Structure 1
Amino acid sequence: MTYEPVIGLEVHIELQTQSKMFCACPVVDSVSAPPNTAVCPICAGHPGTLPVVNRQAVEYALRVAMALECSINPVSVFARKNYFYPDIPKGYQISQYEQPLAVNGRIVIETAEGEKAIRIRRVHLEEDTGKLTHVSADFAADGETDKRTTGESEKGYSLLDLNRAGVPLLEIVTEPDFHSAEEVRSYAERLRALVRYLGVNSGDLEKGVMRIEPNISVRKRGASELGTKVEIKNLNSFRALERGVAYEIKRHIAILEAGGKVAQETVGWDEARQATFSQRSKEDAHDYRYFPEPDLPPLVVSPDWQEAVREQLPELPWQVYRRFVDQYGLTRAEAWGLAAERAAAQYFDAVLQATTAGIRTVYAWVMGELLSLLNAAGRNFDLSPVPARELAALLNLIADGKVNQTTAKAVLAEMFKSGQSAASIVTEQGLSQVSDVDLIARLVSETLTENPAEVTSYRAGKVTVANWLFGQVMRKAGGRANPQLVRAELERQLACSG
């Protein structure tokens, strides 16, 4: 019996506006900011307070929906999602339900079989909840149970931070179009690239500003009816996402093959155990009693407003990717490695436009030598101490024969460290390439005279010795000799009868 996974995704994206969705409180980093310092009566749910829609949040949401090729609803409605939980002080969450902001979009992902379109069911706005931190009874700095609770310290306690409550949240819901963990990861990577390109979210899964929740079921291959659905939470990296989905698929298949039934539930991902664990049963679907938010009018997005937002859209990551493949001849992996980060793609384009070096050379230096230095320094391309024009100038020095590859790598390292230009470093340190044919001939002759045994080995048929001799000549020249001239002269002198 063969089984087929069927997976849909819900992704929550915090919109990086200056203020919250329905009040003037600032949006702060929920990880580093002191708890409960960005809270007002509106986001704390005090009776009698009235919400006001954040226009910037709506525009950010429109950017994403348009980039996903969604149909924008000219009129959408906010609704109250009613449920009781400590992190939602009003007793309800303002969301959208029957009339969301946008519907029927798509995003194209790369799979092992080629490109695949994933359908987007809906994109809607809502407010985020507060943040609960659960502290066990064992936790205390001195090994003692923390006594700050009132008579419940032996059971542990929970801390509530409302800094995140009311932060603009965009929910993107797909159709169940995924059939593998790899497809899920590909979608998530492309969606993160998109929100970064659009400037609406940092894409930091680790901080929870982008939360991905797969809904997984497994059915017999060829069957039309879906299996029992399980939702996974606590997936704070792409690796955790892929492994969590793969684990659940295997778990479902094992249960079905053993004749069992999969329980409908929400599970969490345990990174240490590399396994999921049950969080709560979902046998009974929640009745959230949605009804229109009486304190907010319908959200009207006029054609003029839509057009103004559409005109601001940048070149999207998959458009950059396709350009790099079609125009530059990069492989799919190379193209996406650049296109996934807007700053990297822009840097690559800028270097390419300012140098006479070829595409392969530019790619090797941007994604090889420079990226290595950036990673070691914990920096991104937008914080590179080597501007694109300066890397282009260095590549021009190589193309013009003024420095060789080995010297250029040392020059780049110095540029990264000091911020100096390539030309000034080469001049100040006397690193210009040696192309004097008489000098090179003398260095080769000296090297062969000093290493008669290696010369004899070469002439006896051990041709690989030539590479060692080449290295000795370059060492004599301080690494600055023109390697093409050195190799040609070395071959000429070795070919002479000994």
Structure 2
Amino acid sequence: MEYELICGLETHVELATASKLFCGCAASFGGEPNTRCCPVCLGLPGALPRLNRRAVGYAVRTGLALNARVMPVSRMARKNYTYPDLPKAYQITQYAEPICRGGGLRLFNGRVVPIERIQIEEDAGKLIRRDGKLWVDYNRAGVPLLEIVSLPAIYSAEEARDYLERMQQLVRAIGVSDGRMQEGSIRCDVNVSVRPKGSTELGARTEIKNMNSPAFMVRAINYEYRRQVEVLRAGGAVVRETRRYVEQNGTTAPMRGKEAADDYRFFPEPDLPPIFVTAEELEAARAALPELPDDRCRRFVTQFGLTEEEAGLLVRYRRVADYFEEAAGGLKNPSLVARWLLGPVYSRMSGDAARENFAPAVSAAQLHELAGLVEGRGLSTHVARQALEKMLDTGEPCRRFLTEQDFAGLDSAALREICRVVLARDSRAAADYRQGKERALQALLGAVMRETRGRAEPAAARQQLLSLLRENP
């Protein structure tokens, strides 16, 4: 029997507020353990929470960006469970009346994954295992989160990865989170089940907790799919449970039995009033919503002539997209700027954080000037690329590295003659190419570029070499 995979994601997005959800403690990442907490986030007797209104605004903005229904009234609730990283022995979250319902997120393949709900909640502390002991850091306790719950409508590990990465892109673009997975600003619980192909019934699901790496998530889902299929084919039943990902061998392992809603004994939070979102506040939030990544991607394709892949890579980081627009504005060939950004500029930036905080040594105006010299003064892209590398090394403008000779372009006849000279001088490489050795053409092309001091366009030089080689087989 063939089985298909069904996933649903509960994505936890840490909101970019200065303070925590119910107190004035700093919500920033890191710090010495247990130095950013107070009686409220530690749940000491008599301490009363006060809701962070900016977190509510960020929840509304996220709901609008996901085409969800923002509810005019929502309420906080207590979710009761005992765990070392939860100092109050309950979490303040939402349950029966979340702030947003419905909506969806579009995947790269065009399919929209429906959203069930978006709710505001507080984060727990962090457990640290060290020297055979278990330590607790409560700096993260009370940090504001959005939990965005999808319906079980994701049908492959690759779709789950795309969903998580697009959610990261969205929350960054609208400014509600820094989206740093490596710091836990986005992490998700993945619900996995399998069912016979053609069936409409959902199978028993397991939940893989706290995934904050797309690559690890793909491995965890694929392993869990195989494990569940093996259980069913052996005549067993999948146990509904919570599991963890084991990074060392790419498997999942049981943590505990899966709780049901009744186990948490939800009830309305007595220390907080309902949350009201007025029609005026909703319209103000809608008007302030920035251009969304999908819309910006489509505009980059139509306005600047980029491929969908180029546009998608650029809009993944808001600062990169802003930089590109400034550098490419008014150019006849904006794709040249896109190729430089995604090539030599990106190659110097290791990791997600560097691109998120995009600040290259070359300003957008300097890159625009260099591209303009290619368009307006016949500077070859090869020479321009060499100048760009030096600009990235020093931060100085392009004219510091260019001479008038660099602008003395080659016409077709002059380039052809240089190619003829190179072929005559290196007859062995020419013979090797005629015998099917493709690498010989690269050697000939390199010789032409040296002969012209980089002034020739590589594509044009290659065509001239091929033409001459065909003429003299």
Alignment of 1:201-216 (within 5 A): 201-216=177-192
Q: Is this contact kept in 2: 1:448–1:455, CA < 8 A?
A: no
- Aligned mates of 1:410, 1:75 — CA distance in 2: 59
- Aligned mates of 2:289, 2:267 — CA distance in 1: 33
Cα pair distance change 1:412/1:91, threshold 3 Å:
same
Partner of 1:100: 98
Shift in Å, 1:284: 6.4
In structure 2, stretches of 5+ residues that fail to align are none
Cα pair distance change 1:264/1:423, threshold 3 Å:
same
Partner of 1:7: 7
Q: How many residues align?
A: 469
Partner of 1:370: 345
Partner of 1:324: 300
SS where residue 339 of structure 2 aligns?
helix
Partner of 2:74: 76
Amino acid at match of 1:7: C
Q: TM-score, normalised by structure 1?
A: 0.84
Cα pair distance change 1:292/1:401, threshold 3 Å:
same
Q: TM-score, normalised by structure 2?
A: 0.89
- Aligned mates of 2:71, 2:376 — CA distance in 1: 57
Shift in Å, 1:175: 1.0
- Aligned mates of 1:110, 1:212 — CA distance in 2: 19
Deviations 1:151-177 (A, max 9, x none): xxxxx4311111111111111111111
1:391 aligns with 2:386: no
- Aligned mates of 1:206, 1:484 — CA distance in 2: 41
1:300 aligns with 2:298: no
Partner of 2:167: 191
- Aligned mates of 2:423, 2:277 — CA distance in 1: 83
Q: Is this contact kept in 2: 1:411–1:422, CA < 8 A?
A: yes
Q: Give RMSD over aligned pairs.
A: 3.4
Cα pair distance change 1:329/1:215, threshold 3 Å:
same
Partner of 1:220: 196
SS where residue 43 of structure 1 aligns?
coil
1:121 aligns with 2:98: no
Amino acid at match of 2:340: W
In structure 2, which of residues 45, 64, 78 is the aligned counterpart of residue 47 of structure 1?
45
Shift in Å, 1:182: 1.4
Shift in Å, 1:406: 2.1
Shift in Å, 1:455: 11
SS where residue 19 of structure 1 aligns?
coil
Partner of 1:422: 398
Cα pair distance change 1:280/1:419, threshold 3 Å:
same
Partner of 1:152: none
Q: Is this contact kept in 1: 2:101–2:118, CA < 8 A?
A: yes
Shift in Å, 1:443: 8.8
Shift in Å, 1:222: 2.6
SS where residue 408 of structure 1 aligns?
helix
Q: Is this contact kept in 2: 1:205–1:237, CA < 8 A?
A: yes
Q: Is this contact kept in 1: 2:5–2:195, CA < 8 A?
A: yes
Larger deviation: 261-270 or 201-210? 201-210
SS where residue 231 of structure 1 aligns?
strand
Alignment of 1:34-433 (within 5 A): 34-111=32-109, 115-135=110-130, 139=131, 156-282=132-258, 287-356=263-332, 358-375=333-350, 379-380=354-355, 382-427=358-403, 432-433=406-407
Cα pair distance change 1:443/1:50, threshold 3 Å:
same
- Aligned mates of 1:22, 1:456 — CA distance in 2: 75
- Aligned mates of 1:181, 1:315 — CA distance in 2: 29
Q: Is this contact kept in 1: 2:21–2:55, CA < 8 A?
A: yes
Cα pair distance change 1:43/1:494, threshold 3 Å:
closer
Amino acid at match of 1:182: E
Larger deviation: 235-244 or 399-408? 399-408
Q: Is this contact kept in 2: 1:407–1:431, CA < 8 A?
A: no
Deviations 1:8-50 (A, max 9, x none): 1111111110001010111121xx3100111111111111111
Cα pair distance change 1:235/1:441, threshold 3 Å:
closer
Amino acid at match of 2:232: L
Cα pair distance change 1:377/1:239, threshold 3 Å:
closer
Shift in Å, 1:245: 1.0
SS where residue 287 of structure 1 aligns?
helix
Partner of 1:149: none
Shift in Å, 1:253: 1.0
- Aligned mates of 2:306, 2:201 — CA distance in 1: 42
Shift in Å, 1:378: 8.0
